[in-house]
Chains A and B, each alone.
Chain A
Amino acid sequence: MDGLAAIAVSGLRKSYGAVEAVRDISFEVAPGEVFALLGPNGAGKTTTVEILEGYRRRDAGSVSVLGLDPEHGGVRLRERVGIVLQECGIEELLTPREVLERQAAYYPKPRPVEEVIGLVDLAEKARARIRTLSGGQRRRLDLALALVGDPDLIFLDEPTTGFDPQARRNAWDLIKRLGGLGKTILLTTHYMEEAQYLADRVAVIAAGRVVALGTPDSIGGRDTGATQIRFTLPDGRLPAELPVAARLDGGSVVIEAADPTRVLHVLTGWALERGIALGGLTVARRSLEDAYLGLVEPR
């Protein structure tokens, strides 16, 4: 990618006093890519994003956003970038339409306010005071504000933290649609499902460092690791009778299979011969959650 990357970060470091928030972070985001920084609270995600947005100065490392250094990018960079900050207030006595119209005037080629309101599904609240909006509606207004300048690149810092599952699903669909518009998106999250659902690639960050980088399907060796087969046996049957090595996990029997196709065949053949039902049978590769927890656990 190098010269063509929408975002390029290399050897980034940042401390607040004695606290090293970012120790060594490097990654690149290609134009049109949806890229997630995934990590626990305090991992350095927001510090990284706020350096890219031009809010903070870095201590060391090189950073390029749309080919510019965000410390000196100024108006030229901000005209091409949309920012959704983590929990950020707004003038509650204005209406969504008003703040969008005010903000649209800041950009050389804004999207029509009407269209943006429709895109984030706020039409019924467009003329209501912002203080009457729900948490989810406010977050959609944040997104609308980031979109109204028709930016090439959008930063989303924890876009769905605090949402209920339905609101989260709606926000995800909206962000998917933005990706569909060809926008480059950098999002931070501590929800694994969010990274998995939205991102083309993920950097897992822990204690200020990138500990894994790849597609959500490959993070932490998910694509090459063992598959987990899980089921329950009828009363009186013991795992020791099974034709393959197994262990007990709570009430379930768990088999870690490197070659699941063969193991399943042996297992189900064994069960059918004896007329035994394998209760609640599931076959899953290592979950992103397991992979993630394995990566971010303090060592």
Chain B
Amino acid sequence: MRTLDLLANQIRYEQKLYWRSPSSAMFTFAFPILLLVIFASLNQGATIQALGGLSYNQYYVPGIVAFGVISACYSNLAIALCFRRDAGVLKRVRGTPLPPWIFMAGNIGSSLVVSALLVVLTTAAGVAFYGVVFPGRYGALILTLLIGAFCFCSLGLAITALIPVATGAPAIVNGLLFPILFISGTFYPVGSASWLGRIASVFPIRHFEQAIFTVFDPRAAGSGIELLPLAVMLLWGGAAMLVAIRGFRWEPLRK
């Protein structure tokens, strides 16, 4: 009970911090929405021949749903934690009786809240304004989102171990993210047999997007759950969590 109270306490203050911080609110929250509006408006009515004439937005909006989760979990967590580490905030936390895992869980919980908001907003906007069909696979959607959040939160925690000082964090975090986002087919389809597609399929982003795409796909029968993408994300998430547990630093590098 006390553990749950502490966790709720942490999430509450992480949320206050998130919404008061212009950089996180702008870059991790507004950015996915901005991308949705720009590309979905530009391609209103377009179709994709490679996908049997499917509307572009039926392809694109699920990708942005996935991107929202990646943004709220991976980018936000990694960058914010690096800056707080360099400022000494994390060192301060270690001097209190708060168990470190509850501090982490509070950060992850707050990212989940932001992710959930982004998913609801982007999906609703897609359905209301861009002709996207959501076939009501709520169970599959929640399962996929939870596994995706686990994977990308773990990656966000793990990558902090590779970032020496916070000023380098945005460049490293986004420099790794955006090339993979592009080759994973976030903005336009990339064939899985193409060499870019093959490289992309090593990383979890493409799998996450394909999993969400399947959940949204009105032509597909069945539950909308595909095991392979989920398994790849679990594998990446597990490996990243091990790196994070072993390599996470609570203090800035010694001068």
Question: Which A residues fall within an 8 A CB radius of B?
Answer: 16, 53-55, 75, 78-79, 81, 83, 85, 87-91, 93-94, 98, 102-103, 105-107, 145, 149
Given A75-B99, A149-B97 in contact, is the A85-B9 Cβ separation under 8 Å? no
Contact at A78–B13, with CB atoms within 8 Å? no
Tally of A-B Cβ pairs under 8 angstroms: 64
Question: Which B residues fall within an 8 A CB radius of A?
Answer: 5-6, 9-10, 13, 16-17, 20-21, 84, 86-89, 91-92, 94-99, 251, 254
Contact at B92–A90, with CB atoms within 8 Å? yes
Q: 4 nearest interchain CB pairs?
A: A89-B87, A88-B88, A83-B95, A78-B97
Residue in chain A with minimal CB distance to B18: A93
Contact at B92–A107, with CB atoms within 8 Å? no
For the complex formed, measure the closest distance between the CB of B100 and the CB atoms of chain A, giving whole angstroms: 10
For the complex formed, measure the closest distance between the CB of B85 and the CB atoms of chain A, giving whole angstroms: 10
For the complex formed, measure the closest distance between the CB of B80 and the CB atoms of chain A, giving whole angstroms: 10
Q: How far is the CA of A212 from the CA of B209 in the complex (A)?
A: 67
Given A88-B88, A94-B13, A98-B16 in contact, is the A106-B6 Cβ separation under 8 Å? yes
- Find chain A residues with CB under 8 A from B89 CB: 88-91
Given A87-B88, A90-B92, A94-B17 in contact, is the A102-B9 Cβ separation under 8 Å? yes
Residue in chain B with minimal CB distance to A81: B95
What 19 additional pairs, Cβ within 8 angstroms, besides A90-B89, A93-B20, A145-B92? A53-B95, A55-B94, A75-B99, A78-B95, A79-B97, A85-B95, A87-B88, A89-B86, A89-B88, A90-B92, A91-B84, A93-B16, A93-B21, A98-B13, A105-B5, A106-B96, A106-B97, A107-B97, A149-B97
- Find chain A residues with CB under 8 A from B21 CB: 93
Q: How far is the CA of A78 from the CA of B93 in the complex (A)?
A: 11
For the complex formed, measure the closest distance between the CB of A48 and the CB atoms of chain B, giving whole angstroms: 16
Contact at A103–B96, with CB atoms within 8 Å? yes
- Of the A-B pairs whose beta carbons lie under 8 Å apart in the complex, a sample of 8, sorted by A's number, is A54-B95, A55-B251, A83-B96, A94-B17, A94-B20, A105-B5, A106-B6, A145-B92
Q: How far is the CA of A85 from the CA of B95 in the complex (A)?
A: 9
By secondary structure, the A interface counts as: loop
Residue in chain B with minimal CB distance to A80: B97
For the complex formed, measure the closest distance between the CB of A227 and the CB atoms of chain B, giving whole angstroms: 44
Residue in chain A with minimal CB distance to B94: A55
Contact at B96–A88, with CB atoms within 8 Å? no
Identify which of A54, A91, A105 contacts B9 (C-beta below 8 A): A105
Q: How far is the CA of A256 from the CA of B251 in the complex (A)?
A: 51
Identify which of A55, A87, A91, A105 contacts B6 (C-beta below 8 A): A105
- Find chain B residues with CB under 8 A from A88 CB: 88-89, 91-92
- Find chain B residues with CB under 8 A from A145 CB: 92
Residue in chain A with minimal CB distance to B90: A89
For the complex formed, measure the closest distance between the CB of B165 and the CB atoms of chain A, giving whole angstroms: 14
- Find chain B residues with CB under 8 A from A81 CB: 95
Q: How far is the CA of A79 from the CA of B99 in the complex (A)?
A: 11
Question: Which of A53, A87, A93, A98 counts the most B-chain CB atoms under 10 A from its CB?
Answer: A93
Residue in chain B with minimal CB distance to A129: B20
Residue in chain A with minimal CB distance to B6: A105
For the complex formed, measure the closest distance between the CB of B249 and the CB atoms of chain A, giving whole angstroms: 12
